[in-house]
Amino acid sequence: MSINSTAFIQQENARLKTENQELTEELHALREFVKILAELKTVSETVKTDSELVPFLRIVLTNAMKLVDAPDGSLLLLDEEKNELEFLLVQGSVANDLVGHRIPADEGIAGWVIQKQMPTLVRDVNRDPRFSRFVDKTFKFTTRSIAAAPIIGDQKLYGLIEALNQPGDEPFSEKDLSLLGLVCWIAGEALANIENRNLENAKASDDKE
C-alpha cells in the first residue's frame, strides 16, 4: 500500500469518526427535544385553573431556553386594552428587575412579532432597524441576538417568548426558531383551553341564575 493510500484511509477514518460524532450529538438533541415537548404537552393538559397557569408558563420558558441554549429570555403577555406587553416571566441577569415591566405592543422586535403574528430571528440586533434599545438602556442590559415567536392558541394571540444572546459566532438558527415556535404553540393551546373553560363555567353560572 502506498503512502498516499494510507494517508487517504486515515483521512477517511477521521472524517467518518467526525460524522459519527455529529450524528450522535444530533440524535441526543432530538431525543431531548422530543422528551421536553412530550413533558410540556402532558403538563399543559393538566392545567385547569388560573392559579396553575403561571407555574406552567414558567416551565414553558425554562424549557424553551434549554432547547435553544439561551442564557436570557422572557415570556410576555399581551394586554389588548392598553396595547402593551408585560414581562410576566424573565430568565437571566435582569430577571428580578424586568418582571412586571411593560412596553408598547408595537415597539421593537417583540412589537413586530405581535403585529405580524410571526416568529423572527435576529442574529445581530445592531443591524436590524426594528430593534429598540429602550429596555437595554433602562436595565443596563446588552442584547446581541434574538429569537422570538408568538404565543397563539385557538387563533388568539396571547403574547410571545423571546430568547436572547445564544453563545457562538452565528447565534440562533432556523431550527432554534422552529423549536421555539413549537413550545409557544403548546403554551398558546394551554392558555386557550383555560380561557375557553372559564367562559364555559361563566356561561353555566349565568344559565343557573
Residue-wise pLDDT tens digits, 5-14 = 777 777 777 7
Q: What is the pLDDT of residues 133-147, one digit of tens each?
A: 999 999 999 999 999
Helix 53-68 to helix 3-44 angle (10° resolution) is 170
Asked whether the beta carbons of 64 and 76 are under 8 A apart, the reply is no
pLDDT higher than threshold 70 for residue 70:
yes
Q: What is the pLDDT of residues 138-193, one digit of tens each?
A: 999 999 999 999 999 999 999 999 999 999 888 999 999 999 999 999 899 888 98
Q: What is the CATH architecture assignment of 3-208?
A: 2-Layer Sandwich (3.30)
pLDDT higher than threshold 90 for residue 75? yes
Q: What whole-number distance in Å separates Cα of residue 107 and Cα of residue 84?
A: 9
pTM metric for this prediction: 0.80
Stretch (H or E) spanning 171: none
What pLDDT shows up at residue 94? 92
Is residue 30 over pLDDT 70? no
pLDDT score for 14: 75
Q: In this predicted structure, what is the pLDDT of residue 23?
A: 59
For residue 121, the model assigns a pLDDT of 96
What's the pLDDT at 85? 97
Give me the chain's average pLDDT, please.
Answer: 87
| C-alpha cell recorded at residue 4 | 498516499
Q: Specify whether the CB–CB gap between 143 and 162 falls below 8 A.
A: no
Cross-strand pairs, 85: 78, 103
| Gap between the Cα atoms of 181 and 114, Å rounded | 14
Which cell numbers hold the place of 99? 418582571
Higher per-residue confidence, 62 vs 47: 62
